[in-house]
Structure 1
Amino acid sequence: MTAADDCGCDKARAELEEYLRHELCRTDVEQIRAHLETCDGCSSELHVSVTLTETVRRACKEQAPETLRSTLIATLRTL
């Protein structure tokens, strides 16, 4: 892959979420990967996106304590 294959910041940022979810074709993946190797700004944005995705994934696995769940359900029933 050469510098000419670098897709640029606009494309890399526009398709970053799809890149992270493995939803792009091989050519787009290679272009974005090449860009990320040379662009500190986009690499930083990738790092933020990965961190945010992992944090949300962990948070979604957690459940509220049973006492809180019971209180919320009881409150909702009175509305």
Structure 2
Amino acid sequence: MGKWLGQSKNCDICQEDLHPFTNKHWFVDGKTSIGSGPWALMCARCFEIYGTGLGTGKGQKYDADTMEKIEG
């Protein structure tokens, strides 16, 4: 499916590490609902608040431990 190759390990919105907040060990590279909808690397918590969904033109979900793409 694909693998995250980026360098960042922090959420672009809250600046925290991508997965220690909850049991959800995933993050999303996706479009946000902020303003005109810029894209961001989001932890699970910020995706639930600001994300617009998964799929083409919306975002991709990655496993925070293996960095493998798991959805979108």
TM superposition score category, shorter chain reference? under 0.3
Higher helix share goes to which structure?
1
TM-score by length of 2: 0.26
TM-score by length of 1: 0.25
Higher relative contact order at CA 8 Å, sep ≥6: structure 1 or structure 2? Answer: 2
Higher strand share goes to which structure?
2
